[in-house]
């Protein structure tokens, strides 16, 4: 099974935790009572505070887990959320340092999702008043800034893109998420899917974007999240995935099959689970025969499970992620999906 970082693993095997940093400096505290604590007491209190901080970083990296969850998973493993409220966001136009030679408009958006302010880059093609729009989800470890290379290519085709920051930079830990699931708390992957749904809501509210022509595109692990988001948002016309595949939990081993909770959770995060509910949205898969992270065989198994309408295109580069040779297929399918 592929983790977000591309390594093979089984569900609920050991997956390394991503390194986290709270980014906060310890503040000095002065007691108002005038009582001076002894040095050993101060040291002990300091040590306990450090332990609490480390525990919080390891077990609550997204800032969202630990609260009562508002999601449901069916016995078959299908994830659902309650109806979303109207999006709350702010917008600021910024300098386009990623493609200064272009005449695109670039904006920094901040929107609320699951108790967190999420930032995203909105790229609007030049001289466009009502562009079709795409939520663009990077692969694990890729920031919204790095993903602007593909966003620029999409802008040249005439598409606005909203590229959000992904929690934990898109990296996941299946073991830890399963522990949250069993405790009735929201796994990080669920939160990331919800963030993608909120991003689609925010994109639809932008005055330069046509809310009737929206789709979602994801690379690698972002493609997995994109399939779930598209299946859960009927307003999206289609999903395009680049260098991605499902986990294959429909062929679960006996250990997984004998654990109903493990089965439900693993199915709930597997894009292969959602193909029955995805239509009429179109599924498009673009993959390399020589992908260095997710094998072409895995991609073929996922495509075989997808329902019509669907399309698959293959390239030959020995790489993972978007390449220039994929552009004609991307342009063709976007024109069909968002016509």
Cα 142–chain centre separation: 11
| CATH number of this structure's domain 72-337 | 3.40.50.1820
Instruction: Name the nearest CA neighbour of 136 among 200, 231, 205.
Output: 200
User: How do residues 126-160 score in pLDDT, each as one tens digit?
Assistant: 988 899 999 999 999 999 999 999 999 999 999 99
pLDDT at 49 over 70: no
User: How do residues 117-126 score in pLDDT, each as one tens digit?
Assistant: 999 999 999 9
Specify the DSSP class assigned to residue 249: G
pLDDT at 276 over 70: yes
Q: How confident is the model at residue 11 (pLDDT cuts 50, 70, 90)?
A: low
Query: Which sequence spans correspond to the domains of the chain?
Result: 72-337
pLDDT at 45 over 70: no
Angle at 243 between CA 285 and CA 134, to 5 degrees: 65
DSSP characters for 95-116?
---SSTTS--EEEEEEEEETTE
pLDDT at 297 over 60: yes
**What's this model's pTM, rounded to 2 decimal places?**
0.82
E strand map for the chain: 72-73, 79-80, 89-94, 105-113, 116-124, 131-137, 160-164, 209-219, 238-242, 282-288, 310-315
Say if residues 138 and 219 touch (Cβ distance below 8 Å): yes
| Averaged confidence pLDDT in the chain | 84
User: How do residues 66-100 score in pLDDT, each as one tens digit?
Assistant: 344 589 999 999 999 999 999 999 999 999 999 99
């Amino acid at each position: 099974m592929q983790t977000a970082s591309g390594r093979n693993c089984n569900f609920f095997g050991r997956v390394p935790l991503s390194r986290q940093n709270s980014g906060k400096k310890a503040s000095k505290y002065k007691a108002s009572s005038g009582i001076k604590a002894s040095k050993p007491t101060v040291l002990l209190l300091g040590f306990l505070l450090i332990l609490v901080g480390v525990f919080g970083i390891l077990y609550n990296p997204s800032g969202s887990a630990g609260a009562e969850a508002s999601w449901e998973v069916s016995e078959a493993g299908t994830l659902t959320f309650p109806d979303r409220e109207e999006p709350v966001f702010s917008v600021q136009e910024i300098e386009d340092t990623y493609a200064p030679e272009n005449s695109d408009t670039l904006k920094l958006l901040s929107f609320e999702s699951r108790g967190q302010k999420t930032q995203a880059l909105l790229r609007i093609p030049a001289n466009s008043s009502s562009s079709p729009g795409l939520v663009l989800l990077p692969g694990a470890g890729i920031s919204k800034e790095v993903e602007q290379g593909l966003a620029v290519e999409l802008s040249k085709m005439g598409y606005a893109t909203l590229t959000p920051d992904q929690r934990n930079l898109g990296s996941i830990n299946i073991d830890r998420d399963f522990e949250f699931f069993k405790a009735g708390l929201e796994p990080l992957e669920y939160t990331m899917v919800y963030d993608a749904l909120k991003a689609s809501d925010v994109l639809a509210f932008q005055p330069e974007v046509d809310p009737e022509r929206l789709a979602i595109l994801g690379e690698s692990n972002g493609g997995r999240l994109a399939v779930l988001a598209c299946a859960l948002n009927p307003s999206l016309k289609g999903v395009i995935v680049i260098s991605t595949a499902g986990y294959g939990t429909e062929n679960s081993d006996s250990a997984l099959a004998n654990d109903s909770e493990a089965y439900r959770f693993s199915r709930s995060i597997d894009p292969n689970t959602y193909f029955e509910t995805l239509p009429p949205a179109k599924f498009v898969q673009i993959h390399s025969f020589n992908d260095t992270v997710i094998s072409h065989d895995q991609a073929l198994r996922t495509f075989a499970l997808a329902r019509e309408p669907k399309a698959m295109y293959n390239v030959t580069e020995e790489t993972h992620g978007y390449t220039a040779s994929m552009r004609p297929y991307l342009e063709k399918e976007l024109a069909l999906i968002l016509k």
